[in-house]
Amino acid sequence: MARREVEVETQFNTFILEDLVKLPEVLQHYAKHVLTDNHEIVFTHGDFAPRNILVEGDRVTAVLDWEDAGWYPEYWEYIKAMQHLKPIPDWPDYSTVILPPRYEKEYLGMAFPARLLRH
């Protein structure tokens, strides 16, 4: 991994942790331990959910709403997509096909704090 990617992820982690100061210390602790700097920085949609996916028949025809898109650590798309599991009945089944489970540590560490973050 390039030194620049490590610096970018370190800055991103600092940005995320700024929002966590209002959370209980135990949640801050968990988040700090999963926010490592060893991920690739990749372009992500940032709001990948059924409401933003147009399907015609069995074919995806468009992905909408790119306003949250940007360059983030590779796990960010997974965490953001998994925020929509409960309110959408079929999403857990489809999401694991599109985004196979890979970032368990990151998801578990950020699952609760991510709901409280402004970003």
**More confident position, 7 or 85:** 7
Tokens of 3: 């030194």
- pLDDT at residue number 92: 81
> Which position has the token pair 């949640």?
27
pLDDT per residue as tens digits for the range 102-119: 888 888 777 766 666 655
- The per-residue pLDDT for 115 is 63
Phi, psi of 42 (to 5 degrees): -130, 160
pLDDT tens digits for range 5-54: 788 899 988 888 887 777 788 878 888 888 888 999 999 999 998 889 99
Q: Cα–Cα distance between 86 and 59 in angstroms, integer? A: 24
Domain borders along the chain are: 3-116
Residue 73 has pLDDT above 60, yes or no: yes
pTM summary value: 0.78
